[in-house]
Each structure stands twice: as C-alpha cells, then as structure tokens.
Amino acid sequence: MKLINLTIVENFAKNHAETRKSLSVWKQVVVLANWKTKQDVLLDFPKAKMLKNNRARFEILHNKYRLIAEVDYEDRFVHIRFIGSHNEYEKINPETI
C-alpha cells in the first residue's frame, strides 16, 4: 500500500521517541500489505478497529497512542489522518477527520 501524509507520523515520532519502533513496524507492515478488504487489515493488525468511511484505528505503543487512517482498497493507498494520545483521540471524530 502507498502511504499518504507520512510526514504526520515522522513528526510525531520525532516528538515522541518511545513510539519510533512501533511506528516503524506499522509503516513496514502497511507498505508491504496488499489490502483488498477490511478483513485484510485485521489480519495484519488484529487489534485495529474498522470505522465508518473506510477509516481504521490502529493502536500504537499498547494503545497509549492511536493512529487513524483512511484506506482506499481500490487505489491501494493509506491516508494518515491523525495520530495522537488517547486523550487527544477522544476530542476528534475519527470518521470525519
């Protein structure tokens, strides 16, 4: 899959050093993936939650942080929409961000 808006993740990792390894693994899995359905996402990330509007919520660093991405299965891209703490996540609408 092609990652869009990766700068968000890179900047977040610079400011939150403890997330670097988890985010690096997440990125590697996504880039190598060939997701065609929501179930494919869950096979790679069993703890992910599939949301409306083709959004997926991924747990980062044992759910201390959450990453929201929009997945386009047909065009094979994953658009990163948000990454933040659990508290920051509670202040957004993950289905529209």
Residue 24's pLDDT is 96
**Degrees (nearest 5) of the Cα angle 58, 36, 66?**
5
Residue 64's pLDDT is 95
- By the 10 Å C-beta count (0-12 exposed, 13-18 middle, 19+ buried), 38 is classed as middle
Report the chain's mean pLDDT, rounded to a whole number: 96
Residue 49's pLDDT is 97
Domain boundaries, the chain: 2-89
Residue 12's pLDDT is 97
Domain 2-89 top-level CATH class:
alpha beta
Please list the ranges in the chain whose pLDDT falls under 50: none
